[in-house]
């Protein structure tokens, strides 16, 4: 099997399971409308003035590089250039850092008025910024200044791997010795959900020429790393892990919790785009089997990665359902695949103060499972 990068054909799992094109399109359009232009208690996209906007983390009342970059990816996939440009200008105006050891990176959290809550970056924001910008360049063409999308993407990636060279201050976002993304630049461990080999394959085509080999190696390293980080029986990954794949134990980060859910989604999308690692099919099967069999009726809890179900509610239960479904893009098991996708289809967008993270992953799953999370070349 070849991935969509090679064939140009994107699998529509919803259609395979009998949902109509009209139903699918309506579900996607309704989700976009709710997140971006719904009522005050539904949306979390907020416009500022004539040319900026942000996605609010409604549980923490801030704007994060995670959310802004997710929003940009949502917009480029939906051909929404105006909204994309508003989000990107907010990021460059309020999040991008011009000086200090993190110059060239983006502050991971700011207040809705743009005041920085931190001067530290989070690498998942940078990798999503870069990928969304490359897609924007390929879909809409480069503009002037900050809207020269491909130039901005290349500059971000250059900083990510060259920061701190030649005795200059700062730390790179990828560990040079093993090509693995860090949790934050000055920490020597990683977050399994940050590993996006399907992005790195494309960075290897479009980054600065001298860095392209690095990104090829990073894609290979991240795929191999996930073999170590995901539990051999359940397929579940911890929130944070050491470079050898063993969980980081402080602050309960060794559990299957909020960040972890994205690993299942990432495995699904990587397989859909590149089909480069057959292990991903086995891992997706294990994840779906755990939730359809072991955790059936308890898909709203916290888990140890060995599958122990803890008597603690998950902070983002809709995100679990969405990412389990997205794993279907790699899965073999038709029975569990159908159960996970149908549960997701029948689950509405989340309401309430914690809706931001759940509904971001919900919309990405809708796009991926309908064949609308695409590589723009």
pTM over the 0.95 mark: yes
Beta strands in 99-218 (DSSP E): 109-110, 174-175, 180-181
pLDDT-based confidence at residue 103 (cuts at 50, 70, 90): very high
In the predicted model, what is the mean pLDDT of residues 75-82?
98
How far are the Cα atoms of 5, 92, 120, 296 from residue 131, in angstroms, in the given order?
Answer: 15, 16, 21, 36
The architecture of the domain spanning 45-229 is Alpha/alpha barrel (1.50)
| Nearest of 136, 77, 146 to residue 106 by alpha carbon | 146
83 classed as catalytic:
no
Please check whether residue 330 is in contact with residue 267, taking contact to mean a CB–CB distance below 8 angstroms.
yes
Do domains 1-43+277-377 and 45-229 share one topology? The answer is: yes
In the set 56, 57, 62, 66, the catalytic residue is 66
In the set 83, 127, 211, 259, the catalytic residue is 259
Rounded CA gap, 107 and 122, in Å?
8
pLDDT-based confidence at residue 376 (cuts at 50, 70, 90): very high
Output the average pLDDT for the chain: 98
pLDDT-based confidence at residue 212 (cuts at 50, 70, 90): very high
Q: Please report the pLDDT score of residue 166 as a whole number.
A: 85
Please determine, for residue 240, whether its predicted confidence score (pLDDT) is greater than 90: yes
Please determine, for residue 367, whether its predicted confidence score (pLDDT) is greater than 90: yes
pLDDT-based confidence at residue 41 (cuts at 50, 70, 90): very high
pLDDT in tens, 305-354: 999 999 999 999 999 999 999 999 999 988 999 999 999 999 999 999 99
**Residue with the larger pLDDT of the pair 338 and 167:** 338
pLDDT in tens, 268-282: 999 999 999 999 999
Looking up tokens 């200044």, which residue turns up? 145
> How is the chain split into domains, by residue range?
1-43+277-377, 45-229
pLDDT in tens, 48-60: 999 999 999 999 9
Please determine, for residue 1, whether its predicted confidence score (pLDDT) is greater than 90: no
Please determine, for residue 219, whether its predicted confidence score (pLDDT) is greater than 90: yes
Q: What percent of the chain has pLDDT over 70?
A: 100
Pick the CATH number of 1-43+277-377 from 1.50.10.10, 1.10.580.10, 3.90.228.20, 3.90.1150.10: 1.50.10.10
State the DSSP string of 64-123. Answer: EHHHHHHHHHHHHHTT-HHHHHHHHHHIIIIIB--SSTTTTSB-SEE-TTS-BS-S---H
Please check whether residue 149 is in contact with residue 137, taking contact to mean a CB–CB distance below 8 angstroms.
yes
Q: Please report the pLDDT score of residue 344 as a whole number.
A: 98
51 classed as catalytic:
no
pLDDT-based confidence at residue 167 (cuts at 50, 70, 90): confident
């Amino acid at each position: 099997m070849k991935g969509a990068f090679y064939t140009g054909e994107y699998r529509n799992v919803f259609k395979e399971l009998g949902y109509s094109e009209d139903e699918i399109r309506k579900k996607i359009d309704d989700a976009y409308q709710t997140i971006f232009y719904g009522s005050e208690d539904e949306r979390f996209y907020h416009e500022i003035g004539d040319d900026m906007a942000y996605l609010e983390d409604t549980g923490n009342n801030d704007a994060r590089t995670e959310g802004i970059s997710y929003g940009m990816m949502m917009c480029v996939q939906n051909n929404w250039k105006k909204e994309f440009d508003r989000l990107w200008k907010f990021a460059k105006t309020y999040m991008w850092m011009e000086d200090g050891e993190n110059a060239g990176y983006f502050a991971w959290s700011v207040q809705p008025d743009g005041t920085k809550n931190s001067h530290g970056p989070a690498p998942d924001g940078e990798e999503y910024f870069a990928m969304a910008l490359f897609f924007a360049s390929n879909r809409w063409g480069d503009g002037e200044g900050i809207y020269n999308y491909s130039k901005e993407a290349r500059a971000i990636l250059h900083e990510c791997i060259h920061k701190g060279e030649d005795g200059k201050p700062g730390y790179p976002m990828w560990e040079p010795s093993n090509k693995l993304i860090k949790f934050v630049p000055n920490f020597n461990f990683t977050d399994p959900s940050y590993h996006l080999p399907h992005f790195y394959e494309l960075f290897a085509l479009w980054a600065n020429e001298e860095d392209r080999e690095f990104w090829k190696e990073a894609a290979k390293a991240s795929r191999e790393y996930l073999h170590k980080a995901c539990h051999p029986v359940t397929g579940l990954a911890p929130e944070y892990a050491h470079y050898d794949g063993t969980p980081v134990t402080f602050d309960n980060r060794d559990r299957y919790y909020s960040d972890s859910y994205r690993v299942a989604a990432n495995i699904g999308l990587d397989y859909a785009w590149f089909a480069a690692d057959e292990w991903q099919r086995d891992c997706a099967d294990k994840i779906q089997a755990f939730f359809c069999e072991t955790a059936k009726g308890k898909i709203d809890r916290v888990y140890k990665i060995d599958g122990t179900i803890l008597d603690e509610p998950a902070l983002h239960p809709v995100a679990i359902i969405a990412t389990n479904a997205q794993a279907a893009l790699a899965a073999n098991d038709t029975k569990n695949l159908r159960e996970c996708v149908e549960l997701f289809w029948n689950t509405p967008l989340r309401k309430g103060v914690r809706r931001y993270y759940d509904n971001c992953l919900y919309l990405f799953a809708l796009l991926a499972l309908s064949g609308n999370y695409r590589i723009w070349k």
